[in-house]
Copies of this chain bind each other. A is one copy, B any other.
Amino acid sequence: MAKRPKVRKITIYDIARTAGTSSATVSLVLNGTWEKYRINVDTAAKVSRVAKEMGYRANLRARGLRTNRTGLVGMVIPHHRNRFFAGLVENCERAAHSRGLCPIVVSTQRDHETEIYVARALLAQQVDSMILAGSSQPDAVNRLCDESAIRCVNLDLPGQGAYSVVSDNRAGARALTERLVPFARSPADIHFMGGIEGEHATELRLTGFREALEAAGLGTATAEVSFCGYRPDTSRAALDALAARPEGMPRALFINSITALEGFATFLRDRLHLCRGCVVACFDWDPFAACLPLPIFMMRQDVEALTEACFDYLDQPEDWRGQSKVISPKLVVAAGDAKAVPVRRAAV
């Protein structure tokens, strides 16, 4: 096969030459600032026509070099595979496009080294601003952005080094747990699993979880917790361990993330008989997970509102570092059986 022929891209100079004017005039016309500069209407029309005929496309990199704005907004996420972050990305795309910006999204696979690496790559590409989503250690990237004088917002997980937009983890977990409580016959019958001890979101959710237990008179000291991280295999292992106990599976499970729920799904597939009568609450949402064969309550984070809050901040010039915007998540009652269950209100 032949090598691709060398096609020279056309520039404002080409247009200037064939339109019989200067590159400056072409630039002015093409940028829409020609009226301000009182360029002759006919000249403007001619330039526009020629540009169109020649199929001119501005080189945004050259423009960015001059104007110091690239129209790029960087976005760093843990994973693409994950409905929550995927939804965030699609909403951010929409928001970016509506502002004439182009998002550039990279994933870290939840690895801190990779996070630094990709953030540097985005900054080297001269992104105008940065959205750092789901980072458990946002400070390092926040600092990199500072060095490049780039505005950054921490999304989903907060940090002191930038403005943060997060879901209301505590209230959400509490509401979710309130739905679970009627199923638990004893404090030992309800279990919290997933996430990492000491991690911001996990701890807040655990607080909400415990508040609901306490309000329901199920105590708190005895509530059991498995910090099995954010991987399907580790949460699966934790579930196998639970099932192997003399008392067997707890009846009510609070599952802290969609990834942990993925481990639960495989457990359910292989050992459905151990899950008779079980009910699950998950702080996340996935359409297939919602169809698993047991009652399941899901807390769907308000991706639209989270996105809007990010861009509202980026749209204005103030630096609100250290502050947080907290967005309420939405309860989704996913399985048929669960609908009939009465909600036991916390006695406040």
Chain A residues close to B by CB (< 8 Å): 1-7, 9, 55, 57-62, 64-65, 70, 72, 79-83, 86-87, 89-90, 93, 97, 102-107, 109, 117-118, 120-126, 146-149, 151, 232, 261-262, 265-266, 268-270, 272, 286-293, 317-321, 323, 334-336
CB distance from A5 to the nearest CB of B (A): 8
- From B1, B5, B148, A318 is in contact (CB under 8 Å) with B1
Closest to A6 in B: B149
Interface pair B125/A106, CB less than 8 Å apart: no
Asked if B149 and A9 sit within 8 Å, CB to CB, the answer is yes
Please give, as numbers and ranges, the residues of chain B lying within 8 Å of A102 by CB-CB distance.
104, 106, 121-122, 125
Minimum CB distance partner of A91 in chain B: B80
Residues in B neighbouring A106, C-beta threshold 8 A: 93, 102-103
Residues on B with C-beta less than 8 A from A89 are 80, 107
Q: Which of B82, B118, B262, B335 contacts A269 (CB 8 A)?
A: B335
- Name A55's contact: one of B83, B147, B265, B318 (CB within 8 Å): B147
Across-interface contacts of A90 in B (CB, < 8 A): 79-81, 107, 109
Q: Which residues of B are found within 8 Å of A319, using beta-carbon distances?
A: 1-4
Q: Which residues of B contact A5 (CB under 8 A)?
A: 149
Q: If A83-B81, A232-B287, A288-B288 touch, does A148 touch B93 (CB 8 Å cutoff)?
A: no
Question: Which of chain B's residues has its CB closest to A57's CB?
Answer: B124
The 3 closest A-B pairs by CB, nearest first: A288-B288, A265-B291, A7-B149
Count of this chain's copies in the oligomeric assembly: 2
- Whether A61 lies near B57 (C-beta < 8 A) is no
Q: How far is the CA of A321 from the CA of B103 in the complex (A)?
A: 29
By a CB distance below 8 angstroms, the chain B residues around A109 are 90
B291→A268 contact, CB < 8 A: yes
**Cβ-neighbour of A336 out of B1, B261, B270, B292 (below 8 A):** B270
**Closest Cβ neighbor of A145 among chain B residues:** B4
How far, in whole Å, are A105 and B75 apart by their CA atoms in the complex?
11
Minimum Cβ distance to chain B for residue A305 (Å)? 18
A65 contacts which chain B residues (CB < 8 A)? 59, 61-62, 65
B contact residues around A59 at 8 Å (CB): 65, 124, 126
Assess the B9–A148 pair: CB atoms within 8 A: yes
A317's contact among B3, B120, B232, B270, by CB below 8 Å, is which? B3
Q: A291: which B residues are within 8 A, CB to CB?
A: 265-266, 268-269, 288, 292
Shortest C-beta distance, A274 to chain B (Å), equals: 13
User: Which of B61, B64, B148, B287 touches A266 (beta carbons < 8 Å)?
Assistant: B287
Chain B residues with Cβ under 8 A from A148's Cβ? 7, 9, 57
CB distance from A235 to the nearest CB of B (A): 12
Q: Which residue of B lies closest to A323 (CB)?
A: B1
Pick from B2, B55, B125, B147: contact of A60, CB under 8 Å: B125
Given A1-B319, A60-B124, A105-B105, 14 additional A-B pairs, CB 8 A: A1-B323, A4-B149, A7-B148, A57-B123, A58-B124, A61-B61, A81-B90, A86-B86, A97-B117, A102-B106, A261-B288, A262-B287, A265-B288, A265-B291
22 A-B interface contacts by CB (under 8 A): A1-B323, A2-B319, A3-B317, A3-B318, A3-B319, A4-B317, A6-B149, A57-B120, A57-B148, A59-B126, A61-B125, A89-B107, A90-B109, A93-B106, A93-B107, A97-B117, A102-B121, A265-B288, A265-B291, A266-B291, A270-B336, A288-B291
